[in-house]
Every structure is written in structure tokens, then in C-alpha cells.
Amino acid sequence: MKLLVCVTSVPDTTTKIVFTDNNTKLNKAGVTFITGPYDDYALARAVELKEKTGATITVLNVGQADSEPVIRKCLAIGADDAIRVNAEPTDAYFVAEQIAAIAKENNYDLILMGRESIDYNGGQVHGIVGEMLGIPSISPVMLLDLDGNTAKITREIEGGKESLEAQLPLVLGCQEPIAEWKIPNMRGIMTARTKPLKVVEPTGTDKLTTVASYELPAPRGSVKMIPADEAEKLIQLLHTEAKVI
């Protein structure tokens, strides 16, 4: 069985975000990049399936050279080889097109990725990839087991959960608690240095969207403390200043 795990390289969640070029680009100076947290869940479950079934895992990243430390960490966790598409991943359709092109060449049985990246939070790529490949796409997947060529899946839906079965091949967008994040051990880190990492140029159409500008969230306002016995004053402020009642 061949598994493809698609990962993103995103700023650490504690990063202070600064924009450049008239607020059209992220200033990467001093920024620590990590594997997208939802992609980490996908990779962790892939490693568990590999241990159970003897599958092989290929990690795929659409990104530039500065994403390679993230890719090497994925190899250290348990992936067998990696592919990097040498392009900036700023458009969901463009990224999906690159994933689909690689998948068509290699005939993967199961394509796993996070339900969304934590930089753009679009949640679109898995659905577009499924459409391009003509195979089912399911997200957000919370539980995944394999019985031969049948995937037994639990996904989150509004107000509850849904359990279903589907035949491979599939594209799945993953989230917790599908698996626990895995930390690479020293042996994994050492072997990751020699595992294959293939760099390919992008194919297909140009990006369909471009960024006009980014904006930071508005700063938090000041806080007024109202004594517990002054409920009338609180109501007045909610009406005249906060304007929520």
C-alpha cells in the first residue's frame, strides 16, 4: 500500500506576524516554521498504518527551499521519502493541482492531509484534489481504520459525528483525535538525512488568485472593571459604549 501525506510549512503559532511589500507578503525574517498541526495528525496516523500494514509513506510539500527542515522532520517521524514542488503555496487550486499531478504519476492508495492549513485556513485543497483525481474526498476525519481496501471513517459533522465506509483510493482531510502527534527520536533524525527528497518544478496553470493585501486583527481594547453590585452601570455601558444591547 502506498500512502501520500501532504504537509504544509507554516509559521509557529507563537510567531509575531509582520507584513512587507505594502502588506502583500509575510516577513519571514526570524520566523520559525513548523509542520501544519492538522498535517501532523495525518502523518501520525499514516505512520501507525505503516506499522500495521507495511505501507510506504511519501511526504509531499508545495513550497520553497526553506520548507525542507519541516520535510526532514516528517522523514524523521517515519515517512520513507519526500517530494517538494518548488513553488510558493499561495493558491488552493494551484496547490491541489500539484498534488494531483504527483498522485497521478504514482498511483497512491490513500492521500492524507490536514483538514486545513493554519496560515490561510481555507480547507479547500483536499476537496479539489479529490475532484481532480475523480475519487472521493472526506473531511474532517477524526478516526480512520483500514480493512483491506475499505476505509472505516468517523468524521465530524454539525451537531455530531458520522461513521461511514469507503473504498480506496481516497483523499482525507484529518484532524484530532485521529492519532497523537509523534516526536522524532534520534535514530529517526539521523536516518532522515539520507532519505530521498526529490525536488520537482510546478506544472499546470498559473495561480488563479493573488493577495491584494493582508491585515492584522484589530488590537484588543481596554477593559473596564465594574463592581458586582453596580449592575445598572454595566447595563448602561453595554448599551451606550459597547452597543451590544
Q: What is the pLDDT of residues 125-178, one digit of tens each?
A: 999 999 999 999 999 999 999 999 999 999 999 999 999 999 999 999 999 999
Q: Which residues contact 183 (CB under 8 A, 6 or more apart)?
A: 77
- Do residues 143 and 178 touch, judged by C-beta distance below 8 A? yes
141 neighbors 32 (Cβ within 8 angstroms): no
Looking at residue 137, the DSSP 8-state letter turns out to be E
- Taking residues 19-45, report their average pLDDT: 90
Q: Grid coordinates in use for 143?
A: 478516526
Reported as a single tens digit per residue, the pLDDT across 76-134 is: 999 999 999 999 888 899 999 999 999 999 999 999 999 999 888 889 999 999 999 99
By the 8 A CB rule, do 139 and 115 touch? yes
pLDDT grade for 179, boundaries at 50, 70 and 90: very high
The answer on pLDDT for 189 being more than 90 is: yes
211: its cell numbers: 493577495
> If pLDDT is split at 50, 70 and 90, which confidence band does 17 have?
confident
Residue 210: the pLDDT is 83
CA distances from 236 to 75, 147, 221 (A): 59, 62, 18
State phi, psi for 132 to the nearest 5 degrees: -65, -35
CA-to-CA separations, 124 to 83, 115, 121, 131, in angstroms, rounded: 21, 8, 9, 11
**Grid cell at residue 40:** 501532523
Structural domains in the chain, CATH included, are 2-214 (3.40.50.620)
Q: Which residues contact 236 (CB under 8 A, 6 or more apart)?
A: none
Cell of 90: 499561495
pLDDT in the model for residue 113 = 97
